[in-house]
């Protein structure tokens, strides 16, 4: 059975945290931050705002855009690497916020690659559950401020949530194929457990991501006989601008084919890919194949191929 993407949604907190504000806190200049990351500003949620709050807002936006009532959902999948520790995870609370009773709610506790894995799971689950809502929601400001600010990580992250409605019903884009990979030998290079500061081996992360994202994209394109130059948009996890440029170069495509909003929102981890998709879809994109791809802690990475119908 085929799976289709019907709509995307997003939610960003109102508070804008500029590079000037971050520079004053980490002892660098605003220009240094932008040069190192391509980020000019990011959104941070209020202290009382939770991952569930962000996820529910993005879910409602997506359902509204897809003209679907929450009660029609057969399953929800919530990806987050920054939800507070313990159980239950945020998925059950999001389901309750949407007024769902008895609808399965699955947590995907993955940073950065969570919403991609959620999309791939949803594409398989629609045969049984019908409409599946995938949400990526992150409050990375809480992670950043859980310890003394580290100049190498604090400037990168923002808060937000994105969502996608996947269904067996024919829709705007058909999901054609998915590739997923993991390699646990690098798990200590990007990790956070709420008991110590975020740990990131920046050299390892950028080296692995700049190799593995293009490889996964090439794998799914080659499997379906599609050239990278024929893809209308690459909707990637928005880690930093430099990585997006590297991916475009590795694929041999113009940088503008790799959608980028990282300058405005920073790295919102597992929310970023779906926030980018929501903005892209609202801009009347050209028809043709589209590729979703992400890389994150674990390491986990992969790509999802879809085409307009």
Q: Which two tokens stand for residue 172?
A: 């705007």
pLDDT at 148: 83
**Distance of alpha carbon 53 from the chain centroid:** 17
In angstroms, rounded to a whole number, what is the distance separating the alpha carbons of residues 103 and 206? 38
Q: How far is CA 170 from CA 6, 37, 62, 83, 175, in A?
A: 8, 39, 17, 33, 10
Are the C-beta atoms of 237 and 105 separated by less than 8 Å? Answer: no
Answer yes or no: is pLDDT of 133 > 90.
Answer: yes
- List of domains in the chain: 3-167 (3.40.47.10), 173-308 (3.40.47.10)
Answer yes or no: is pLDDT of 149 > 70.
Answer: yes
pLDDT band at 152 (very low <50, low <70, confident <90, very high): confident
Instruction: Enter the DSSP assignment of 181.
Output: E
The three-state secondary structure class of 177 is strand
In angstroms, rounded to a whole number, what is the distance separating the alpha carbons of residues 199 and 111? 13
Strand duo 159-167 + 131-139: pairing: antiparallel
In angstroms, rounded to a whole number, what is the distance separating the alpha carbons of residues 256 and 109? 31
pLDDT at 48: 97
Answer yes or no: is pLDDT of 13 > 90.
Answer: yes
In angstroms, rounded to a whole number, what is the distance separating the alpha carbons of residues 280 and 14? 20
pLDDT at 203: 87
**Please, which residues have CB within 8 angstroms of residue 92's CB and are 6 or more apart in sequence?**
105
Q: What is the mean pLDDT of the chain?
A: 95
Q: Which two tokens stand for residue 109?
A: 């506790």
Q: Which residue, among 143, 137, 158, has the nearest Cα to 271 in the 3D structure?
A: 137
Say which residue, 303 or 309, is predicted with more confidence: 303
Q: Which two tokens stand for residue 96?
A: 């309750």
- Torsion 42-47-49-51 (CA) sign: positive
Q: Quote the strand ranges of 19-72, DSSP E.
A: 41-43
Strand duo 3-11 + 159-167: pairing: antiparallel
The pLDDT tens digits for 95-129 are 999 999 999 999 999 999 999 999 999 999 999 99
Please classify residue 85 by burial: count the beta carbons closer than 10 Å to its beta carbon, then call 0-12 exposed, 13-18 middle and 19+ buried. exposed
The pLDDT tens digits for 81-92 are 999 999 999 999
Q: 10 Å Cβ neighbour count for 227?
A: 12
pLDDT at 286: 64
Print burial letters for 154-169: b (CB count within 10 Å at least 16), e (below 16). Answer: bbbbbbbbbbbbbbbe
Q: What is the mean pLDDT of residues 234-259?
A: 95
**What is the pTM assigned to this prediction?**
0.96
pLDDT at 285: 67
């Amino acid at each position: 059975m085929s799976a289709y993407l019907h709509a995307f949604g997003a939610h960003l907190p109102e508070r804008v945290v500029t590079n000037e504000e971050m520079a004053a806190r980490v002892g660098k200049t605003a220009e240094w931050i932008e040069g190192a990351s391509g980020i000019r500003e990011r959104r941070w949620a209020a202290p009382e705002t939770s991952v569930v709050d962000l996820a529910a807002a993005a879910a409602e936006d997506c359902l509204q855009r897809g003209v679907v009532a929450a009660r029609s959902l057969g399953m929800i999948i919530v990806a987050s690497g920054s939800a507070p520790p313990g159980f239950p995870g945020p998925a059950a609370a999001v389901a309750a916020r949407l007024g769902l009773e008895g609808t399965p709610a699955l947590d995907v506790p993955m940073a950065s690659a969570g919403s991609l894995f959620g999309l791939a799971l949803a594409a398989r689950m629609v045969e049984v559950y019908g409409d599946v809502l995938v949400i990526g929601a992150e409050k990375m400001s809480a992670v950043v401020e859980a310890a003394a600010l580290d100049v190498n990580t604090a400037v990168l992250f923002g808060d937000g949530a994105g969502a996608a409605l996947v269904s067996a019903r024919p829709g705007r884009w058909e999901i054609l194929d998915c590739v997923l990979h993991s390699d646990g030998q690098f798990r200590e290079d990007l990790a956070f457990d709420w008991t110590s500061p975020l740990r990131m081996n920046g050299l390892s992360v950028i080296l692995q991501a700049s190799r593995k994202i293009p490889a996964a994209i090439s794998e799914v394109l080659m499997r379906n006989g599609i050239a990278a130059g024929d893809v209308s948009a690459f909707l990637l996890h928005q880690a930093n601008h430099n990585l997006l440029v590297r991916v475009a170069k590795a694929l041999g495509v113009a940088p503008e084919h790799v959608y980028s909003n990282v300058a405005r929102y920073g790295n919102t981890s597992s929310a970023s890919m779906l926030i980018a998709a929501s903005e892209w879809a609202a801009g009347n994109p050209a028809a043709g194949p589209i590729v979703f791809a992400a890389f994150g802690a674990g390491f986990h990475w992969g790509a999802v191929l879809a085409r307009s119908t």
